[in-house]
């Protein structure tokens, strides 16, 4: 049996492992729905764990983000979909196909002295802003638990006092402006992709303004009956956000550090009814009807951070 041609074929083995894993998972679900306890004790549990470990490879990445949390995201519900969607390569066929994973996609020129800030201080400011973006858009606390504490901890004492009621509140549209909040639709086990840039300019004395212009794409799981094109599972966020870095002195210690400045954002390819509550969900999950007469925008310009932020969307 060990030398049977099918067993020696890596493609056949891959499909067999996947089918075995899916079959075991489906059988467990049926038993749970019937209130049936799984017999076999530790031996069966270990066998199932071995099957899952063999069939599914969970990719982890360095730094903060959605893949740094056990069991966050999930393998696809089904085999790669028909109609141009591959859940193993969900960004294919979208503007994010060539973007980088996470905040490494947000570029910055080599740091130079700006106003009262040395080149080294500007470099530190860039790294601080990237960390703040990661906490807001990729951080597991925000995405999973709707918890803004990771972002709050990075801000000045006075900025924390100002934003704590919003970032620690229940779900609101205002909270969704600062954090990416995911509802019942689950992300796939791929890291969100980003593209964009950071630039720095002087503010008042002892103040540096770092402008972040970037886009983020998220990949959601789906069944074949739920999605027909990549646009159905990949929503996009565009952000134009100023971050203000202040020194003490001349500023008081409670104002020294990172604060938010002016900002604006834009969402696309998402569920309209969910985004109106502050939740990001895939387009296929939308229960409401599309807005009649919605303006069609150029897709390339819409997702390009070097272009002006669109002023119209597909939600009323």
pLDDT score for 2? 41
Q: If you write DSSP's letter for every residue of 201-264 in order, what string do you get?
A: EE-STTEEEEEEEEEEE--B---TTT-SSGGGT--EEEEEEEEEEE-TTTS-GGG-EEEEEEEE
Is the same domain home to 50 and 84? no
Domain that holds residue 36: 5-55
195-244, pLDDT tens digit by residue?
999 999 999 999 999 999 999 999 999 988 888 889 899 999 999 999 99
Nearest CA to 176 out of 227, 128, 235, 221 is that of: 235
Statement to judge: residues 142 and 243 lie in one domain = yes
Q: Are residue 195 and residue 288 in the same domain, yes or no?
A: yes
> Kind and range of the H or E element at 198?
strand 193-202
Report helix, strand or coil for 95.
helix
Q: Residue 36 has what pLDDT?
A: 29
Whether 312 is in a domain gets the answer no
Alpha helices in the chain (DSSP H): 5-8, 10-33, 41-55, 119-133, 140-145, 149-152, 157-167, 173-178, 272-275, 299-303
Return the minimum-mean-pLDDT range out of 102-106, 136-140, 270-274, 307-311: 307-311
- Is 298 within a domain? yes
3-state secondary structure (DSSP) of residue 268: strand
Residue 210 CA to residue 200 CA, distance in Å, equals: 4
44 and 90 together in one domain: no
């Amino acid at each position: 049996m060990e030398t049977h041609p099918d067993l020696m074929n890596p493609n056949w083995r891959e499909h067999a492992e996947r089918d075995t894993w899916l079959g075991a998972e489906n059988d467990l679900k049926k038993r749970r729905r019937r209130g049936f306890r799984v017999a076999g004790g530790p031996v069966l549990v270990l066998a199932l764990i071995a099957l899952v470990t063999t069939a599914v490879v969970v990719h982890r990445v360095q730094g903060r983000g959605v893949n740094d949390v056990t069991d966050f995201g999930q393998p696809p519900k089904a085999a790669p979909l028909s109609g141009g969607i591959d859940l193993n390569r969900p960004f294919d066929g979208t503007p994010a196909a060539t973007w980088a994973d996470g905040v490494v996609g947000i570029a910055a020129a080599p740091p130079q002295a700006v106003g009262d800030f040395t080149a080294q201080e500007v470099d530190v400011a860039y790294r601080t802003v990237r960390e703040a973006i990661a906490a807001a858009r990729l951080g597991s606390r925000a995405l999973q638990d709707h918890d803004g504490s990771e972002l709050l901890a990075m801000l000045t004492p006075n900025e924390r006092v100002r934003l704590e009621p919003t970032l620690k509140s229940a779900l609101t549209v205002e909270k969704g402006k600062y954090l990416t909040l995911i509802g019942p639709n689950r992300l796939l086990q791929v890291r969100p992709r980003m593209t964009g840039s950071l630039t720095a300019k002087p503010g008042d004395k002892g103040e540096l303004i770092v402008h972040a212009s970037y886009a983020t794409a998220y990949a959601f799981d789906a069944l074949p009956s739920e999605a027909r094109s990549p646009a159905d599972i990949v929503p996009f966020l565009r952000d134009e956000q100023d971050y203000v870095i202040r020194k003490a002195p001349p500023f008081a210690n409670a104002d020294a550090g990172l604060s938010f400045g002016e900002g604006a954002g834009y969402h696309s390819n998402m569920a309209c009814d969910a985004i109106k509550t502050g939740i990001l969900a895939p387009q296929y999950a939308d229960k409401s009807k599309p807005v009649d007469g919605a303006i069609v925008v150029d897709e390339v310009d819409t997702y390009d951070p070097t272009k002006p932020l669109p002023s119209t969307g597909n939600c009323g």
